[in-house]
């Protein structure tokens, strides 16, 4: 199953802090690692990770603004509003082989504007060229899909908050891939962890600290903590990861906890993930990585700046539909499907 939850895409990289509570099965090294050595190790990990499949249970809490804390408009501006955390549960799954990926999110979703909760499923896939997404509410008669190539919004369709932590564990080089090594400083002067357990990296951009990453002191230098800062210098996101050693002595992600903050420091979203199944090294056939639209799906094709509308008429055939019919019930009432 694949993820196409476009309205929950993250505008920037999530900040995550990885926990060192579980010892990592790494060979001890005599000296503190250099930025170049960490980049080389992470690049090698990215290039040799191989195919993997992971499933996890996810608990999400979303902050919903409630009643004003004062009847006085001026006091309300100062004190703000009551904040309610709405909790939902869902399952996520990802299959990845090189650039090819297939994702799925199934469960409850919170509308951050009003706190309404609905049962939904969201799916996505990328085959190295073509992006596909699909989403459906449980009470809707059909779902909505999309596909296209190139740098469209679909190219971010599987890079949502649910999967960032997994991506960082498997491919941590994404944490500063686009920046030169000169922007990364090794600094352990104020580590919260014992220096024997972690090394602190400061990622600088435009003269300010963009993020702080604490990595294990020896290979494979897995991220133990990752914190991202906004332009104001305040924390944007923070996360904790827990690892365990598998039968082959390799560190596997077991769980993670991510916090997202508003500019004033209040909680915007909390995520807690627990891995329930993981396999590595087994190749997938093409169908296991391909998203197929269910019959009846209304589909948008992105062609450059243009969009075409289709309906999945049969398991193997799409037919064009009018723009005015897209997302509407086929009874002529003009009512939206969801």
Each of the 338 residues of the chain gets a pLDDT tens digit; together they read: 333 333 333 333 333 333 444 444 444 444 678 889 999 999 998 888 899 999 999 999 998 875 554 555 554 554 555 668 899 999 999 999 988 999 999 999 888 778 889 999 999 999 988 999 999 999 999 999 999 987 666 666 656 778 888 888 888 888 887 788 888 988 765 455 544 477 888 898 888 888 998 888 888 888 888 899 988 888 999 988 898 888 777 888 999 999 999 887 888 899 999 999 999 889 999 899 999 999 999 999 998 888 999 999 999 999 999 999 999 876 555 444 44
Mark whether 287 and 302 lie in a shared domain.
no
Query: Residue 154 and residue 149: Cα distance in Å, rounded?
Result: 8
CA-closest candidate to residue 243, choices 230, 228, 256: 256
Residues 284 and 306 in one domain: no
Domain CATH for 206 = 2.50.20
pLDDT at 194 (0 to 100): 47
What SS3 class is residue 33? coil
Domain ranges, residue 332: 293-338
What is the predicted pLDDT for the residue at 28? 47
Contact call for residues 275 and 56 (beta carbons, < 8 A): yes
Give yes or no: residues 309 and 330 share one domain.
yes
Same domain, 45 and 140: yes
Residue 1 forms part of a structural domain: no
Distance CA 128, CA 12 (A): 22
The contacts found for 23-28 with CB under 8 angstroms, 24 or more apart, are 23/245, 24/216, 24/222, 24/243, 24/245, 24/251, 25/245, 25/249, 25/250, 25/251, 26/216, 26/218, 26/219, 26/220, 26/251, 27/218, 27/219, 28/218
Q: Are residues 299 and 275 in the same domain?
A: no
Tally of domains within the chain: 2
Q: Determine the pLDDT at residue 196.
A: 46
Give strand pairing partners of 253: 243
What does the angle CA 152 – CA 156 – CA 159 come to, to the nearest 5 degrees?
175
Q: In terms of DSSP H, where are the helices of 103-228?
A: 161-170
242 within some domain: yes
In a shared domain, residues 332 and 245: no
Would the CA dihedral through 63, 68, 73, 78 be positive or negative?
negative
pLDDT at 145: 95
- Strand bridging mode 298-303 / 144-148: parallel
Residue 239 lies in a domain: yes
Residues 228 and 303 in one domain: no
Statement to judge: residues 274 and 299 lie in one domain: no
Query: Tell me, what's the pLDDT at 217?
Result: 81
Residues 167 and 222 both lie in one domain: yes
State how far the alpha carbon of 99 is from the alpha carbons of 60, 117, 157, 179, in Å: 28, 33, 14, 21
* Claim to verify: residue 120 and residue 168 sit in the same structural domain: yes
Q: Are 294 and 135 within 8 A, CB to CB?
A: no
Q: Has residue 48 been placed in a domain?
A: yes
Asked, for residue 137, whether it belongs to a domain, the answer is: yes
Burial bucket for residue 24 (CB in 10 Å: 0-12, 13-18, 19+): buried
Distance, CA of 309 to chain centre = 28
Report the predicted TM-score, pTM, of the whole model to 2 decimal places.
Answer: 0.79
Q: Are residues 334 and 205 in the same domain?
A: no
- 223 and 151 inside one domain: yes
267: part of which helix (H) or strand (E)? strand 267-280
- Read off the DSSP letter of residue 181: G
Residue 182 lies in a domain: yes
């Amino acid at each position: 199953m694949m993820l196409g939850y476009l309205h929950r895409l993250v505008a920037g990289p999530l900040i995550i802090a990885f926990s060192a509570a579980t010892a990592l099965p790494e060979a001890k090294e005599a000296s503190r690692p250099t930025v170049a050595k960490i980049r080389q190790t992470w690049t090698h990990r990215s290039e040799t990770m191989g195919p993997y499949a992971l499933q996890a249970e996810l608990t999400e809490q979303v902050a919903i603004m409630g009643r004003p804390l004062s009847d006085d408009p001026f006091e309300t501006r100062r004190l703000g509003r009551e904040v309610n955390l709405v909790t939902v549960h869902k399952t996520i799954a990802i299959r990845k082989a090189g650039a090819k990926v297939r994702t799925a999110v199934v469960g409850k979703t919170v509308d951050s504007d009003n706190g309404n909760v609905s049962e939904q499923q969201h799916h996505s896939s990328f085959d190295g060229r073509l992006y596909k997404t699909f989403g459906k509410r449980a009470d809707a008669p059909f779902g909505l899909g999309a596909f296209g190539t190139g740098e469209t919004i679909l190219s971010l369709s599987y890079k949502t908050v649910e999967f960032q932590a997994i991506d960082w564990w498997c491919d941590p080089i994404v944490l500063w891939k686009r920046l030169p090594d000169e922007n990364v400083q090794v600094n352990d002067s104020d580590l919260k962890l014992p220096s024997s357990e972690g090394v602190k990296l400061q990622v600088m951009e435009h003269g300010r600290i963009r993020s702080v990453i604490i990595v294990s002191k020896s290979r494979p230098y897995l991220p133990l903590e990752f914190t991202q800062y906004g332009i104001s210098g305040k924390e944007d996101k923070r996360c904790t990861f827990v690892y365990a050693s598998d039968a082959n002595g390799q560190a596997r992600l077991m769980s993670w906890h991510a916090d997202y903050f508003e500019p004033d420091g209040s909680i915007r979203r909390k995520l807690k993930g627990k891995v329930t199944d993981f396999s590595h090294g087994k190749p997938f056939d093409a169908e296991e990585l391909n998203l197929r639209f269910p019959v009846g799906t209304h589909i948008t094709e992105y062609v450059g700046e243009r969009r075409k509308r289709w309906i999945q008429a049969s398991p193997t055939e799409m037919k064009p539909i009018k723009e005015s019919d897209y997302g509407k019930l086929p009874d002529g009432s003009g009512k939206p499907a969801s």
